Every structure is written in structure tokens, then in C-alpha cells.
Structure 1
Amino acid sequence: MNKRFALFASAATLAAALAAPALAAPETYVIDNTHTFPRFEYSHFGFSNQIHRFNTTKGTIVWDREARTGAVDITIDTTSVDTGYALFDEHIQGEDFLDTANHPTITYKSTAVRFDGDKPVAIDGELTIKGVTRPVTLTLTSFHSMPHPMARKPALGANAVAQIKRSEFNAGKFAPNVSDEVTLSIAVEAIQQ
């Protein structure tokens, strides 16, 4: 009798496992460089807030909506800095600021993604500028996921902001006249591989 019960229990367990819906797996999205532009904003002698951007960004976003987990890995080409003025682009790329000759990239690698319900709301990670790595949290001000109408693949997009001090990354020349505090804002779109 015990043998029959064990056989029945094993068969029932196997049937339940086969009937269970497949668990969602993490999905990998590739950064769309034509719609992803990290920007930085700072006070220029109190006259105005200047906003510049980087034109070349690559990376991946991994998202598991069921498990509420994710990962972000972004690389920014510092030589693509765009101030709207070529001479100033060269100035920003110099040793006092980005030092692109020795540090041609800025990287951001997540350590955790925080969710509110099903939606990611913040990303904790490590930002590396000029070879200096510091923890930085990006706050998501928006997040959207849907099929991309042109690419016809799943896609996602977000806007994220963070505050940093450039002096903490060995780029603090002219502070406090040119503000040490810099607002980073990233508009990102990515398409599933």
C-alpha cells in the first residue's frame, strides 16, 4: 500500500510540475545609442546652469519583471562630450576635468535595483570617472516598458537622476565658482536582444 501511495504521490508531483506555467526569465536589453543621452548640469559662476551631454553610450539592462530584479551596465564615451562649442569640448576633455586621453570612458554598474511594486524606482551602483569609483544611486523619475512600434521588439525606457560632487572624482577645478555639485540625468532607451 505504501508503495502505491509513493508512486501516486510522485506521479501527482510530476504532473503538477509539468502543468505549472513557465517562470519568466531575465530579459536582456541593449542600449539604443540614438535615444540614450547622459547629461550633466552645473552652475556656471551663478550666472546660469549649464547643461551638456555625451553623444555615445553603450551597455545593457537586464530585467526580470517576475522576480523584481535587474542589472544595469553602461559605458559612456567621454570623448563624445557635447557642449555645443568645439573649443569648450576640448577644455572639458582636458586633464582638469574628464582627462579623456587617460580615461576615455565613464562606467556605471548596478549593485541593486529597487522596486515599488512591479516598477523599478531606483538603481544603486558604482560610478567610475577618471579611474575613481564611488557609490551612486540613480532615482528613476519615469519607467516604461512595451513593444517598440518601429523595432517590433520588447523595449524599455527610463529617465534617471543623481547628484554627485565632481571633486570626489578628481575633477573639481574652479569649485566653488563653477559648482562642485553636478546633476546627472540620463534619458535611456533599450531594445530586447
Structure 2
Amino acid sequence: MKKLSAALAFASLAAGSALAAPVTYSVDSSHTFPRFSYSHFGYSTQLSSFSNTTGKVVFDAEAKTGSVDIEIDMTSVNTGSTVFNGHIQAEDFFHTAKFPKATFTSTKVVFEGDKPKTIEGNLTIKGVSKPVTLTVTGFQAMPHPMMKKPALGANAFTTIKRSEFNAGKYAPYVGDEVRIDIAIEAVAQ
């Protein structure tokens, strides 16, 4: 009887572990928008965004682990002005002719309870990689009501110095400190 109970307990444990596998999610580009903001000569805080972002998120709710790999098309920048979109893609800023993509690759996800609290990783802009920590301000993982698939979404932010990524023209008059916010949604593959 003890052997049967032990076998059932082991089978139950093994089945539970199989159900708790990580899920890979593809970034939903139509609902994922990185934004950045900075001081413009102290007059105002300028807000801009990128309209083309791809990547994947791996999330294991049971194990409380995850990873994030994001690629931002820097040529998809939207400053609100066609002229300035071209200006900010020049060599002194994004230099999109040589560096059309920026990436974020996580190295560690820190959980608070059942939800990610921070995501540490490497941000690469203009070929320069620096460690950053994203602070997660909102997170939801649940079945998508329209697609009927597992989905997740989050909001997070970090602050960088653009001069550390070789994009510091006009600093400090145009703020060197840049806040990056990202609203991301992803659907299970």
C-alpha cells in the first residue's frame, strides 16, 4: 500500500511539473509601443514613440521565471513631425542608416508574489550595450478574450543617459536623461 501511495504521489508531482512548463509568447506589434521622453531646453518634456517592435517573452507562472527579448525598429520613430523623424535618425542621434535596430535582452526577472517586479537586462542602441533595469508598473497574464489563447501584457520603464549610447548631441541643453516607457502585449505561440 505504501508503494502504491508513493507511486501515486510521484505521478501526481510529475504531472504537475509537466503542466507548469514555460510558455513562449510572440510580441503583438499592434499593441506594443516603446516611448521615450526628454527635456527640450527645459521648455517642455518631449514625447516620441516607435511603431514597429517585435520579439518574444517566455513566462512560467509556477516557477516564477521569465525572459524578454525585444527588437525595436529605430526607423519607425514617430516624433510627431516628419522633418524631425528624419533629423533624429541622423548620425548624431540614432544613426539608423548604420544601426536600424535597438534591442533589449533580459538577464533576470525579479518577481514580487506572482508578478514580475523588475526586469534586468542589456539595452543596445547604436551598437552600445548597457545594463538597465525595467521597473514593471502593471502586469496581466490571462487568456485573450478574442483570440482564445494565453496572452500577457505589461507596462515598464527605465531611465538612461543618451550620451552613454553615443547619442548625446546638444546635451545638456536637450536633456541627456531619457525615460523609456514600454507598453507590451504578447500572445502564446
The residue aligned with 2:180 is 184
Post-superposition Cα deviations, 1:34-92, rounded to whole Å, max 9, x if no partner, equal: 00000000000111000000000000000011111100000000000011111100001
- Where 1:137 maps in the other structure, the secondary structure is strand
Task: Tell me the TM-score normalised to structure 1 length.
Answer: 0.93
Residues 127-142 of structure 1 mapped to structure 2, 5 A cutoff: 127-142=123-138
Post-superposition Cα deviations, 1:109-155, rounded to whole Å, max 9, x if no partner, equal: 00000000111111000000000000000000111111111111111
User: Stretches of 4+ moved more than 6 A in 1?
Assistant: none
The residue aligned with 1:78 is 74
Matched, 1:17 2:37: no
| Partner residue of 2:153 out of 146, 154, 157 | 157
After TM superposition, the structure 1 stretch with the greater mean CA deviation from structure 2, 19-28 or 105-114, is: 19-28
RMSD: 1.2
- Where 1:87 maps in the other structure, the secondary structure is helix
The aligned amino acid for 2:9 is: A
CA distance in 2, matches of 1:66, 1:34: 28
Residues 1-193 of structure 1 mapped to structure 2, 5 A cutoff: 13-20=6-13, 21-23=15-17, 24-193=20-189
CA distance in 2, matches of 1:22, 1:185: 36
CA distance in 2, matches of 1:9, 1:124: 46
**Structure 1 spans left out of the alignment, 5+ residues:** 1-7
- The percentage of counterpart residues that share the same residue type is 58
**Structure 2 spans left out of the alignment, 5+ residues:** none
Q: CA deviation at 1:9?
A: 6.7
When Rg is computed on C-alpha atoms for both structures, the one with the higher figure is 1
Task: Tell me the TM-score normalised to structure 2 length.
Answer: 0.95
